[in-house]
Amino acid sequence: MNKAILQFLQKQTCAGICCVDEQNKPYCFSCFYAFDPASGILYFKSSVETRHAQLLKKNPVIAGTVLPDKLNKLVVAGVQFQGMILDEQHSLAEKGAGFYLAQYPVSLAIPGKVWAVQLDFIKMTDSSKLFGKKLLWSREEGAGS
């Protein structure tokens, strides 16, 4: 994964994630996340009773966005991504609770489950160096541009 994408995802804390309901209509939610650059997995915590948790169990395909925690209206920057919720028995999902807790210790006091998102495609816009600069990465190609 491109170094600029890795650094951006590690610096930010909040993602908007979209899944689909039974009628294939989009359903979006926001969450705090922890990004593991070694595995390229994005972890978030949510109650299993939420609407989105129920939808993710039925259809694990997701898309989302990450914007800078502090917006600068003169510099356009952000990430759009597509991915898949990993089954909780997956080895990368099993380590998610510990990884998430290390970044957000207060989350121990909040009930919920840590979910693991395998990122499959990322498009990053970064105008800090060149206006409209796009960086692309996909798990299939394993390369950035």
Domain range annotation of the chain: 3-138
In the structure encoding, which two tokens stand for residue 143, read together? 């390369």
Mean pLDDT value of segment 37-53 = 94
pLDDT of amino acid 142: 66
* Low-confidence winner among 1-15, 61-75, 78-92, 126-140 (lowest mean pLDDT): 126-140
pLDDT digits (tens, 9 = 90+) for 99-115: 999 999 999 888 899 99
For tokens 């600068």, the residue is: 72
Q: pLDDT-based confidence at 145, cuts 50/70/90? A: very low
Per cent of the chain over pLDDT 70 is 94
For residue 78, the cross-strand partners are 125
pLDDT of amino acid 130: 64
Provide CB contacts within 8 A for 40, sequence distance 6+.
1, 118, 119, 139
Provide CB contacts within 8 A for 16, sequence distance 6+.
28, 29, 30, 64, 65, 66
Highest mean pLDDT of the ranges 71-85, 99-113, 131-145: 99-113
- Cα separation, 67 vs 51, in Å, equals 23
CATH 3.90.110.10 fits 3-138, yes or no: no
Q: pLDDT-based confidence at 131, cuts 50/70/90? A: low
pLDDT of amino acid 144: 47
- Cα separation, 60 vs 40, in Å, equals 17
Q: pLDDT-based confidence at 132, cuts 50/70/90? A: low
